[in-house]
Chains A and B, each alone.
Chain A
Amino acid sequence: MPLLTTRNLVARYGDFQALFGVDIDLGEAETIAIIGANGAGKTTLMRSIAGVLRNQADAVRFDGAEIGALPADEIMALGVAMVPEGRKLFPSLSVEENLLIGTYGRKQSGHWTLETVCDLFPILRERRHNPGTALSGGQQQMVAIGRALMSNPRVLLCDEISLGLAPVVIKDIYKAVPAIKAAGASIIVVEQDIAQALAVADRVYCMMEGRVTLSGTPDSLSREAIHNAYFGAHQ
């Protein structure tokens, strides 16, 4: 049985419907990628799973429990942590405090501590007393990932972690993924960079206009099929 599933997940912002019945599965120790163009509903899907947007209780299941209607803080306490789009560091908090706040709602001992997060991203040890927002974009992204890891989550949701970063920095950040998997987290990455997504994921879902248009393992998907699912050409 998958660790986390969505079934017929629907989301709206007022009159605007953003998701039209999305079904995805995330297995234990699996990494999946959600790809799609701007406005495909990827971030809405992440926000729905994380509880920022509330849904029908049975639309999202985690470890057998219905969590679709729970608020974000309760979902986080169960072990689903999110790296939000745009990093969203707390400007009033130092780097170290930003990391520490990640454990507020879930004190789960495990691989990730202040020490091991700083081993993963050594630059953070140097900058620990700086304000979080004084860092470069890539370093801020490292803080945002570290902050989510501090709770030793069972599922890590990464929303557009490469957005606005230089390719060399993106590489640095994705180098952390094997260590995160090794520590036992299942991962969902939302990614616009298709090559990056195919490289990191065990399975890929492609979304368009609020629906899943294609899914499968990276080897099973041809470039053409992805192109069609991405842009909506004839299938």
Chain B
Amino acid sequence: MIWVDTILQGILLGGLYALFAAGLSLVFGIMRLVNLAHGDLIVMGAYLILLLVTLLGLSPFLAALIAMPVMFLLGWALQKFLLNRTLGDDILPPLLVTFGLSIALQNALLETFSADSQRLPTDALTTASLQMGPISLGVMPLLTFASAVAVILGLNQLFYRTELGRAFRATSDDPVTAGLMGIKPANIFATATGIALVIVTIAALYLGLRANFDPNIGPARLIYAFEAVIIGGLGSLWGTLAGGIIIGVAQTLGAAINPEWQILSGHIAFLLVLLVRPRGLFPRAHD
């Protein structure tokens, strides 16, 4: 029974990793841009929520709701005025610029909020758990997982049911011909990064409620996000959820055997999947 419990905890943890990864997957899928500052943007989102909680005395959930439009605008502007300039045939400039952005963000956060670790205040609900027979599941991990599923469902609806989604896919296929349809690729890219930062805010909320954070933990979140995206297959949103779950389960299983193995077993699971399926579990037909 302990194994069932461990695996269930792992699946729920996978929801958090899927949230880390969904924004990365979205941006890569539309504009082939790998954002190395993604983890630091999550940490920045957590500090923004914390700031709203402390200054306005809001609950973290309400604070995240307010942070979302702010982060959307930030992402929109970041893409429109900085990252769009790096896109082109050469894949190196976006990597270099987002790497630099990652370092700048870490230092700015360090300067503003100090190196002390913080966490978002939890209340009775967020620390409660549901007893299901012999298994007890935390409300918080369940909520995290449900949010991850909702985010990915929502993104799929957006992609395949709306005009904006059609424009996303068309621009991803061929930006020049998209222009002939009246689409401005620069604005489509900016909107995509804006949406990615809304998802980042949701990820930041659960990161901050679940554990401590400080300005330096961004790169490790980026690694988990990367692994989830690559296990799932680049650009596949449901694959990203599957990837998050695989890492989550591997980590909790590893930790159940020996707590020191938690992080390592996640990475090993990633390498094993890469060995068997180099293009991930659900690769796109054409790239």
Contact = CB atoms under 8 A, between A and B. Distances in A.
Interface residues of B, number: 18
Contact of A147 (B172, B179, B181): B181
A104 B167 CA distance: 8
Interface in B181-209: 181-184
Interface string A8-51: 00000000000000000000000000000000000000000011
A101 B176 contact: no
A63 B110 CA distance: 58
Interface residues of A, number: 25
Interface string A88-111: 101111000100111011100000
Interface on chain A toward B: helix, strand, loop, or mixed SS?
Answer: loop
Interface on chain B toward A: helix, strand, loop, or mixed SS?
Answer: helix
A101 B174 contact: no
B166 A93 contact: yes
A90 B174 contact: yes
A76 interface: yes
| Among B167, B170, B172: residue with most chain A CB under 10 A | B170
Nearest to B168: A92
B233 to A, nearest CB: 15
Contact of B173 (A91, A105, A106, A151): A91
A90 B177 contact: yes
Nearest to B187: A73
A72 interface: yes
B12 to A, nearest CB: 32
Interface of B: 163, 166-167, 169-170, 172-174, 176-184, 286
20 contacts: A51-B179, A52-B180, A73-B179, A73-B184, A76-B181, A77-B182, A82-B180, A84-B180, A88-B174, A90-B174, A90-B177, A90-B178, A92-B172, A92-B173, A97-B169, A100-B163, A101-B181, A104-B166, A104-B181, A105-B183
